Amino acid sequence: MNTWSLSRLLEGLHDDIQQRLKISSNSLIHPVTKGDASERVWLTLLQNYLPQRYQAETAHVVDSKGNFSQQIDVVIFDRQYSPFIFKFEGQTIIPAESVYAVFESKQTLNAEHVAYAQEKAASVRRLHRTSLPIPYAQGTYPAKPLIPILGGLLTFKSDWTPAFGDPLKKALTKGDANSRLDLGCVAAEGHFIFDQPSERYLFTDAGKPATAFLFNLISLLQFSGTVPMIDVQAYAKWLTAN
């Protein structure tokens, strides 16, 4: 009699992601079309498997001072407590307070793409975020501290051999705290995560990288807590701006 197997289920999830990324890489010719397809693969994974309090979209991020991030391939954001998300003709704008994580999606892992992902993450982390005190029946809780916004890079394969050698380690350590990449996945090779206690990167080049990345991300989101209470009036002032 056939029985369920958790290991086979998790293996199948990774294999599906890797195969879809491989098809995008090998079958599509136009670079933009190829990039859009791989981006959709990662978005679909996150939309299907993250808890429903989180959503994932390609988007720009805006703050209450009117500053915008660059376009971000994958933004993971809150929809339980966030009061508004602007959508128009395929464009999504998300308030900075709602963001949990941002990822750049590329076909390959290399120094240029690491630097590009770092730049994208920094463009979001530099935005201003509000946080209001939270009223409750007996009084008011103090304003919640801002949660750290996670940053990362998602690819199908690596231009480096081995994928997780010194060139990647050197590329990841460039930049400041705003540009740090907290985790990433190379679906055909492995995954990496920044370990806060030791302040160093941990690399895994075996197993089922896409599934492992998903579990690492969910774990980090669990410890991030909930986004702060947004000051809607700070955004409302733009209603009267010229």
Q: Which of 63, 97, 106, 182 is catalytic?
A: 106
Going by their DSSP bridges, the two strands 157-158 and 139-141 should be labelled as unpaired
- Burial pattern 49-70, b for ≥16 Cβ within 10 A else e, equals ebeeebbbbbbbbbbbeeeebe
15 falls within a domain:
no
Supply the range of the domain harboring residue 186. Answer: 31-134+143-201+210-228
Identify whether 241 is part of a domain. Answer: no
Catalytic residue chosen out of the listed positions 78, 104, 182, 189: 104
Query: pLDDT tens digits, residue range 173-197?
Result: 998 999 999 999 999 999 999 998 9
Q: What local confidence, expressed as pLDDT, does residue 2 receive?
A: 67
Q: With contact defined as beta carbons under 8 Å apart, do 180 and 131 qualify?
A: no
Residue 144 bears catalytic tag: no
pLDDT value at residue 32:
64
Q: Each residue of 35-67: pLDDT tens digit?
A: 678 888 899 999 998 998 899 999 999 999 999
* 78-107 tens-digit pLDDT: 987 777 788 877 789 999 999 999 999 999
Active site residue 78: no
Tell me, yes or no, if 106 is annotated catalytic: yes
Please indicate, yes or no, if residue 23 is contained in any of the structural domains: no
Catalytic one of 39, 63, 73, 78: 73
Closest listed residue to residue 55, CA positions, set 71, 75, 83, 73: 75
Q: What is the DSSP string of 182-199?
A: -EEEETTTEEEEEETTTT
Let me know if residue 45 belongs to a domain. Answer: yes
pLDDT tier at 8, thresholds 50, 70, 90: confident
Residue 18 lies in a domain: no
- Given a cut of 60, is residue 1 above it in pLDDT? no
Q: Does any domain span residue 8?
A: no
Chain CA centroid to CA 25, Å: 21
Domain count, the chain: 1
pLDDT of res. 122:
97
Q: Which of 111, 120, 115, 100 is nearest to 39 (CA)?
A: 120
Residue range 205-237, pLDDT digits in tens:
978 999 999 999 999 999 988 888 899 899 988
Considering the chain, what percentage of its residues have pLDDT values greater than 90? 61
CA distance linking residue 176 with residue 122, whole number of Å:
9
pLDDT value at residue 201: 96
Residues 6+ apart with CB under 8 A from 46: 54, 56, 74, 76, 214, 217
Residue 116 lies in a domain: yes
Looking at residues 164-172, what average pLDDT do you find? 96
CA distance 235 to 196: 33
Token pair recorded at residue 222: 């669990």
Residue 175 lies in a domain: yes
